[in-house]
Amino acid sequence: MSELIQARVTAALESLHLNTAKANLMRHLRAAQERDLSTLAVLDALLTDELTARKERSIVVNTKLAHFPVLKTIDSFHFDAQPTLDRRVINELQTLAFVERAEGIALLGPSGVGKTHIAIGLGMKALQAGVRVYFLSAQDLLDQIHAAQIDGIPGHKQRHLNNVALLIIDEIGYVEFDKKAATWFFQLLCQRYERRSTIITSNKAFADWGEIFGDPVIAGAMLDRYLHHCHVLNLKGESYRMRSRKRSSGEKA
Ligand code: ADP
Ligand code: MG
Distance 81 CA to ligand 1 centre (A): 10
Q: Is the pTM of this model over 0.85?
A: yes
For the chain, the distance separating the N- and C-terminal CA atoms, rounded to the nearest angstrom, is 74
* Residue whose CA is at the smallest distance from ligand 1 atom 21: 114
Residues in contact with ligand 1 by the CB-under-6-Å rule are 72, 77-78, 81-82, 109, 111-117, 201, 240-241
pLDDT at site 252:
46
Distance 118 CA to ligand 1 centre (A): 8
d(Cα 183, Cα 219) in Å, to the nearest integer?
9
pLDDT in tens, 128-183: 999 999 999 999 999 988 887 766 666 788 889 999 999 999 999 999 999 989 99
* Residue whose CA is at the smallest distance from ligand 1 atom 26: 77
Residue 37, helix vs strand vs coil: coil
Q: For the chain, which residues score pLDDT lower than 50?
A: 252-253
Residue of 128, 134, 183, 140 lying closest to 163 (CA atoms) = 134
Atom of ligand 1 nearest to the CA of 81: 23
